[in-house]
């Protein structure tokens, strides 16, 4: 596919005032969230919940793209309309998670590498035929004593780059997601150093594999102190450390950076995103936006509780979270215009 087409899609995904809805939970993850809410772990309940999400009135006003799971991209509403078509009618670009999950990296206890490259080419062709226009692959890196190792970083960066090259060959915009996990006692400075090393390696591998930067997006974690760190940074310190790291590592040709929430509370994720825009408005070469899952969905899931009578209230809760993040990214536009 022409790089111009890929670049146009990538730009549309980071359109001003919009972000992505990550509703690509695997069956196991979705079932675990249902179990925590006391919901049945069945295909039909998962379908009903996802229908609630994709049919939310006005969702397209703040959501540019929705990342789906293999099960989800094949599902339909109760009226028989495919979820893909439902999203398209709302002005939302459908996407698809294509990795097969992280597994132990041989020879490096405590580290993981993501599987899914085998057979990826035909899977991408099928997803494109189903209506997907972009894809996502998540790599997971843990901070600890002597972790992540150089081998762990290199293995995950190489897999991300091979995935991205295959996506572009199939006409799909790759979202490249190297997640540095929040768990642990590490400091903000330690997270910044690890994240910088990871992103340097990711972009070196992307270049080696011939990936067109104009036709991809980055989905990183924010730079944060570990959950067990006794000294937690301020919102401003997180914003400064995250943007400094990105400026050192992410080429200007990349259209946008769409952050994952990474286990933060919905409110913290939004506050950190808003602070980046407030402090760096008009000074960044790429768009900064959100690609949140739980940080958008969790209030809606709790309200829904599997009851049809609660659908409207749950959808309203989703819109409240979307609008909060819209306001966070619009802060930068307003500040830049008034500068």
Give start and end residues of each alpha helix (H) in 75-234.
83-89, 120-130, 150-169, 188-208
What pLDDT score was predicted for residue 244?
Answer: 98
Annotated catalytic residues are: 177, 219
Give the tens place of pLDDT for each residue, 59-71.
Answer: 999 999 999 999 9
Give the model's confidence band at 226: pLDDT under 50 very low, under 70 low, under 90 confident, else very high.
very high
Whole-angstrom distance, CA of residue 210 vs CA of residue 268: 36
Backbone φ and ψ for 259, nearest 5 degrees, come out as: -70, 145
CA distances to 10, 80, 93, 126, 256 from 89, in Å: 19, 14, 10, 21, 24
Give the tens place of pLDDT for each residue, 55-108.
Answer: 999 999 999 999 999 999 999 999 999 999 999 999 999 999 999 999 999 999
Instruction: Output Rg (C-alpha) for the chain, integer angstroms.
Output: 19
SS3 label, residue 268: helix
What pLDDT score was predicted for residue 339?
Answer: 34
């Amino acid at each position: 596919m022409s790089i111009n087409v890929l670049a146009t899609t990538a730009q549309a995904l980071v359109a001003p005032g919009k972000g992505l809805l990550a509703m690509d939970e695997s069956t196991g993850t979705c079932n675990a969230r249902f179990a925590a809410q006391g919901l049945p772990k069945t295909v039909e309940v998962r379908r009903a919940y996802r229908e609630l999400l994709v049919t939310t009135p006005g969702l397209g006003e703040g959501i540019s793209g929705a990342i789906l799971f293999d099960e989800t991209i094949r599902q339909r509403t109760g009226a028989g309309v495919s979820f893909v078509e439902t999203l398209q009618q709302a002005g939302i670009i459908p996407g698809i998670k294509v990795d097969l999950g992280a597994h132990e990296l041989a020879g490096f206890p405590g580290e993981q590498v993501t599987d899914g490259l085998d057979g990826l080419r035909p899977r991408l062709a099928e997803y494109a035929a189903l209506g997907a226009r972009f894809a996502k692959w998540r790599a997971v890196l843990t901070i600890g004593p002597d972790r992540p190792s150089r081998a762990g970083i290199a293995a995950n960066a190489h897999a991300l780059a091979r995935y991205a090259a295959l996506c572009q060959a199939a006409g799909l915009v790759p979202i490249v997601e190297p997640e540095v996990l929040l768990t642990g006692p590490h400091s903000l400075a330690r997270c910044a150093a690890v994240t910088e090393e990871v992103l340097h390696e990711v972009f070196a591998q992307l270049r080696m594999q011939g990936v067109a930067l104009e036709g991809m997006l980055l989905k990183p974690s924010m730079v944060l102190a570990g959950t067990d760190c006794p000294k937690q940074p301020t919102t401003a310190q997180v914003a400064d450390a995250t943007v400094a790291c990105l400026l050192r590592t992410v080429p200007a040709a990349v259209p946008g950076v769409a952050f994952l929430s990474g286990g933060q509370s919905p409110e913290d994720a939004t506050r950190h995103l808003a602070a980046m825009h407030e402090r760096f408005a008009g000074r960044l070469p790429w768009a900064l936006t959100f690609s949140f899952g739980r940080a958008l969905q969790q209030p809606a899931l709790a309200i829904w509780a599997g009851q049809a009578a609660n659908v409207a209230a749950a959808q309203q809760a989703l819109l409240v979270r979307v609008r909060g993040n819209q306001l966070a990214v619009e802060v930068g536009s307003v500040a830049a215009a008034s500068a």
